[in-house]
Structure 1
């Protein structure tokens, strides 16, 4: 087999287990910090344990990026076995994790590591990884895969509705000025993943139902051909996404809808209540 390409991502990606197994995607974990205790995401802290702590604890969590040595240790065995590595990562504008992967490449002194900035997070990363996995299966080379990922990223979309912007402000992802109306008068603020990979505050809408309808309307207004495009619905613990999934299915009629619970990295910044659409 000449097309030996190994896929990597970070634990911000929230890749569903079936896709991790199908495309043999290795996940390098970030850390989640509650108070004085640092956990390895989904290694020493499960998703269920994270949500239990977030909901029941007075301590607000924070995240810590993957360091270069973690990436180097993960990459090296595959390089030694003749693989080319493709790491699709959390937006460089949101975390130093992506830069750590690039430093690991320099440390390992190889040209056989390719890094791709998703300019997104969570299912925004996952959807790119699935495209890469499909192309590897079909025998495409790394250059062709990188071009396809760039094309997909150019039309990517991430909108999230939350009850409060407090967690994003505390995590430094939004300014207090951007968040000023959130949480008032039953307002449901939208969080937007910008094309440059930063996070911004979008419209502020007076009910969750209208917020979700707005997200779908915005998606429908893009030039994306959803019959050829997967979309992802992301939701927090205790949130029932069924109605939103049905709305997405009816209005967009996408190739496939991925549904997954928000993991600890995104959950740290989104907080206990939110629903998102990515493609």
Structure 2
């Protein structure tokens, strides 16, 4: 059986994933001061961050259209999977479901399944890798779905950002109590619930202490670490991400740690200097 995995562009793809020809991106569109940027292979992070720094307005993102998902589902593959941003944070999941329905109306039945990552960024990356791992083991379509949904249930996402303003202004922090004043240089340690809603785990004064707290939280909640692949994404701060990796390896023995640069959507919300962990 042949398969393909479509990941909305909040999820980063590793070089190895790109080489297989199995993984495809459904790009979101970013907007800064009326200027639209398609979050595809042409995305220029440095240019984007410059535009955001100069702008007085909050950048925005819009999800892929149902029609673009419908087109992405086309092809010779027997099994097609999509992995989207948390449905609690974006319309990407609903758009993919509508795209699947459009595909059925236009082209007839096909085995298509859409995973709500209940995460973002490298959380989506790890889910996409899990799908491929299951397919390569020769699992049936339903077995892949059941195994990956169980994997999503057990996955955790954490992040520390220099600023939460973009998330706040775009309404992604609903339900959170007022966050500590930035003038005190308080950096919250954030995460996601099992439903994919953003929560606060703790806080610390200064980014370095916040990263230590995040690492401690990861280690505290990590079960069967030697079986786990852990992923770190960073927005324009490779050294900081490497420091987080080093801290993690000093405290826990995991199967593998991968580090990736944030793509456009993750860069928009993580802002310059943000670090995200998924496991």
* TM-score after normalising by structure 2: 0.91
Q: CA deviation at 1:53?
A: 2.3
Counterparts of 1:177 and 1:95, CA distance in 2: 17
Q: 1:55 deviation in Å?
A: 3.4
Of 57-66 and 119-128, the range deviating more from structure 2 = 57-66
Instruction: Give the CA RMSD over aligned residues.
Output: 1.9
How far does the alpha carbon of each residue in 1:149-187 deviate from its partner, in whole angstroms, 9 at most, with x for none? 122112211111112221111111114963431413121
User: How far off is 1:85 after superposition?
Assistant: 0.6
Q: Tell me which moved more, 237-246 or 157-166.
A: 237-246
- Over 3 Å counting, the alpha-carbon distance change for 1:272 and 1:188 in structure 2 is same
1:43-77 superposed Cα distances (whole Å, 9 cap, x missing partner)? 5533333233233444432100111000111212x
Aligned counterpart, 2:149:
150
Deviation, structure 1 residue 143: 1.2
1:64-213 alignment to 2 at 5 Å?
64-76=62-74, 78=75, 81-109=76-104, 110-175=109-174, 178-213=177-212
**Residue of structure 2 aligned with 1:36, choices 34, 37, 54:** 34
**What are the ranges of 5 or more consecutive residues in structure 2 without an aligned counterpart?**
none
1:107 Cα deviation after fit = 1.0
Rounded Cα–Cα distance in structure 2 between residues aligned with 1:148 and 1:250:
30
Matched, 1:265 2:260: no
Q: Report if aligned partners of 2:237, 2:274 keep a CA contact under 8 Å in 1.
A: no
- The alpha-carbon distance between structure 1 residues 56 and 36, as it changes in their structure 2 partners (threshold 3 A), is closer
Q: Which runs of 5+ in 1 are unaligned?
A: none
Residue 159 of structure 1: SS of its match in structure 2? Answer: strand
Deviation of 1:236 (Å): 1.4
1:47 corresponding residue in structure 2: 45
Partner Cα separation in structure 1 for residue 136 and residue 176 of structure 2: 47
After superposition, give the CA deviation of every residue in 1:243-266 in whole Å (9 maximum; x if it has no partner).
Answer: 111011221221111101122102
Count of aligned pairs:
274
| SS of 2:221 mapped into structure 1 | coil
**C-alpha separation between the residues in 1 aligned to 2:77 and 2:276?**
38
Farther off after superposition, 101-110 or 52-61: 52-61
Match of 2:4 in 1: 6
Does structure 2 retain, via aligned residues, the 8 Å contact 1:158–1:192? yes
CA shift, 1:238, in A, is 3.7
Once residues 269 and 102 of structure 1 are traced to their aligned partners in structure 2, the CA distance between those partners, rounded to angstroms, is 24
> 1:122-169, CA deviations, whole angstroms, 9 ceiling, x for partnerless residues?
100100111111222222222111111122112211111112221111
User: Could you tell which deviates more after superposition, 26-35 or 175-184?
Assistant: 175-184
Q: Which moved more, 1:23-32 or 1:175-184?
A: 175-184
CA distance in 2, matches of 1:160, 1:223: 15
1:244-259 correspondence runs (5 A): 244-259=244-259
Instruction: Return the alpha-carbon distance in structure 2 between the equivalents of residues 72 and 86 of structure 1.
Output: 12
Provide the rounded CA distance (Å) in 1 between the counterparts of 2:175 and 2:156.
Answer: 24
- Secondary structure (helix, strand or coil) at the match of 1:13 reads coil
